[in-house]
Amino acid sequence: MRVLFVAPAGSVHTARWISQLAGQGWELHVFSSFDAAGAHPALPAEAKVHGASGGNSLPARALRRARRLLRPGARLDALGRLIQELKPDVIHSLEIQHGGYLTLDAKKRLGAAGFPPWIVTPWGSDISRFGKSTEHAPLIRQTLANCDFYQCECERDVRLGREFGFRGVVLPVIPATGGFAVEEVRRLRSPMAPSKRRRIMLKGYQGWAGRALVALKALESCAELLKDFELLVYVSEISSEARRFHERTGVPVIFVPKGTPHEEMLRLHGTSRVSIGLSVSDGVPSSFLEAAVMGSFPVQSDTGACDEWLENGKGCLFVSAEDPRAVAVALRRALTDDALVDAAAAANAALLEDRMEAGKVAAAARAMYGRAAARRIS
């Protein structure tokens, strides 16, 4: 089996998905769908990374300079040549706005006749938000009209894909980053009851979608409940505001840098009482699932498809991403209701056996490619 991924090579999500296919004797190739200096270190060694500038063997500075000098269209030229050279059994675009559109252009250039079976997987807000854009909606429709298979992380995006005109084969709904190893989770999760933990994990994204500043404002209004707590902030987009939060409240703030290994991220969730993730648009954030399996109580924005996994008021609390008062109400409950967080941790842990055990998820993922490749043979 020879699989070509058109995907962000530097993304941990790409690395975790492809890792599910390692050790099968397959040829795994990754064409980087947009500029990034090199491949993510978690990519399996057997995955060969390609790019418009010739791969990721150059030092990062030289690689960036080479890409700046590329003429327009060089990335498409390189992908077209690679498809003709490799003749992959399956092409899989991870993420639509870069990988999907680029593969669509390659298919238009090379022609539909003989083009390999093509799987498209949306990530996060690829359809739910960008589908509302007059610029992106036509491109999404074209992408879904031209691919053969469609694989999603949530049923919401399956429905939206049909609404955007997809008429091919829908593959199983699988988390975008794969499953979790039961033994690893048990090893990294604190044996301490979640109600006894004294950490809060905050996803620190603040921009077009992330609303970490809303979470900080809500936390500050609960400052009297945070005695003896530490605040862990993943990603430093709100570092200045988080430092000021510490100055005003006295709550220690620990910054968790981007690129922290996944094992360490699991451990941090596994030592936290509450994990907060706020965004005005999303799918099923990996941080939400990580918190759930590690026993940290998720306080999560209601803008994604997380309700397909947990029930509001039992396994988590859903809130408006832009309403600090509503977030504060949820946090007060999560910080004071010991029975709620302990019961949620026990119930959420069952998701491992039911829907997220790594072996089950990987088997389902591998089966997808055999099904897609069979279309070419037939």
Query: What is the per-residue DSSP string for 146-210?
Result: H-SEE--SSHHHHHHHHHTT--SEEPPP--TT--B-HHHHHHHS-SS-GGG--EEEEE--BSSSB
Tens digit of each residue's pLDDT (9 = 90 or more) over 80-103: 999 999 999 999 999 999 999 999
Please report, to the nearest 10 degrees, the dihedral formed by the alpha carbons of residues 194, 198, 201, 204 taken in order.
160
> For domain 182-356, which architecture applies?
3-Layer(aba) Sandwich (3.40)
Count of other CB atoms within 10 angstroms of residue 277: 28
Q: What is the pLDDT of residue 54?
A: 41
Residue range 131-139: average pLDDT? 95
Superfamily of domain 2-179+358-377 in CATH is Glycogen Phosphorylase B; (3.40.50.2000)
Q: Is the pLDDT score of 248 beyond 90?
A: yes
Tens digit of each residue's pLDDT (9 = 90 or more) over 289-325: 999 999 999 999 999 899 999 999 999 999 999 999 9
To the question of pTM greater than 0.85 for the whole model, the response is yes
Q: What is the pLDDT of residue 377?
A: 55
Strands in 272-323 per DSSP E: 274-277, 297-301, 317-319
Residue range 242-248: average pLDDT? 97
Tens digit of each residue's pLDDT (9 = 90 or more) over 262-279: 999 999 999 999 999 999
Locate the domains of the chain by residue range. Answer: 2-179+358-377, 182-356
Answer whether 129's CB lies under 8 Å from 151's CB: no
Tens digit of each residue's pLDDT (9 = 90 or more) over 13-36: 999 999 999 999 999 999 999 765
Q: What is the pLDDT of residue 14?
A: 96
Q: What does the alpha-carbon distance between residue 121 and residue 107 come to, in Å, rounded to a whole number? A: 17
Categorize the per-residue pLDDT at 288 as very low, low, confident or very high, splitting at 50, 70 and 90: very high
Q: What is the pLDDT of residue 239?
A: 94
Categorize the per-residue pLDDT at 376 as very low, low, confident or very high, splitting at 50, 70 and 90: low
Residue range 140-167: average pLDDT? 97
Q: What is the pLDDT of residue 354?
A: 84
Answer whether 14's CB lies under 8 Å from 94's CB: yes
Tens digit of each residue's pLDDT (9 = 90 or more) over 198-234: 999 999 999 889 999 999 999 999 999 999 999 999 9
Residue range 353-360: average pLDDT? 90
Q: What is the pLDDT of residue 60?
A: 47
Count of other CB atoms within 10 angstroms of residue 133: 12
What does pLDDT average to over the chain? 92
Residue range 144-168: average pLDDT? 96
Percent with pLDDT over 70 in the chain: 93
Q: Is the pLDDT score of 66 beyond 80?
A: no
Residue range 363-373: average pLDDT? 96
Q: What does the alpha-carbon distance between residue 133 and residue 170 come to, in Å, rounded to a whole number? A: 24
Q: What is the pLDDT of residue 215?
A: 98
Residue range 236-254: average pLDDT? 95
Percent with pLDDT over 90 in the chain: 86
Fold match flag (2-179+358-377 vs 182-356) = yes
